[in-house]
Every structure is written in C-alpha cells, then in structure tokens.
Copies of this chain bind each other. A is one copy, B any other.
C-alpha cells in the first residue's frame, strides 16, 4: 500500500504521515525499489489509533505515550487512565476559561444596542472604561 492509500484508509493525510515518521511517532516503513513508502494493515491500524487520539484532543506527545502503552502488553490500565484524566482536566480548564469569556461577551453584547449609533459598551469595556461594567438597571 502506498502512502496515498494509507492516508485514504486511515484518514491521516500523506503529509501528516510523513511528519509523524519524521518526529518518530511512527516507525519508518519499508520502501519499494523506487523509494516509495509501503504500508501494511498494521501501520494503518496505528495511524487510525493516532487519528482517534487526536480527535479526542490528545496532543501528539500524549498520543505517543498512549501508543506506547497500547503496544506494551504489560501496561497497567491505571497508567492509561492517568493520561486520560489529566487530559480531561486540561480540557475542563480550557472549557471553563472560554465559558468565562462567553459569559462576559454575552453580557456586553446584551448591553450593546447593535444599531447605527456609535455608543458601544463592548468597546467601553475593552477601553477599560469602568462605566461599562455598570449594569444599566
């Protein structure tokens, strides 16, 4: 299987497959006489594993850890769970951060007329105008 077909089969672009090889995430595949990379079902399986891990938001570094655990038959499930848990914590931290932004922005937007006039509490807030923090009740 050439790289294009492996990309098709795994959902990982050819560009990324080469990159993963370059950074040592995956092993260099065999080459044909014309220097083309050749992949088998096993490598495609690994690529799909990576793809799935990435889609769950794991970094390539975390993905590498998970890949090694996957291939280590003497791993403990606790080790895997640790990786997952710290990733969950990271995601939840980022979610909370963004939710804070959304909350502020929605409040400001709500207070903004959104009309033809220039007066805008959103800009007032960005400009540090404390007036903007006052709720017009």
Contacts and interface: CB of A to CB of B under 8 A. Distances in A.
B77 A113 contact: yes
Interface size bucket, A side?
A: 35 or more
Contact of A49 (B84, B104, B127): B127
A76 interface: yes
Contact of A119 (B57, B77, B85, B127): B77
Given A84-B105, A109-B84, A52 B122 contact: no
Contacts of A18: none
Interface centre among A84, A95, A99, A126 (most CB of B within 10 A): A126
Contact of A102 (B70, B74, B92, B120): B92
| This chain: copies in complex | 2
B74 A118 contact: yes
Interface of A: 45, 48-49, 52-53, 55-57, 66, 69-70, 73-78, 80-81, 84-85, 87-88, 91-92, 94-95, 98-99, 101-102, 104-106, 108-109, 112-120, 122-123, 125-128
Contacts of A114: 77-78, 81
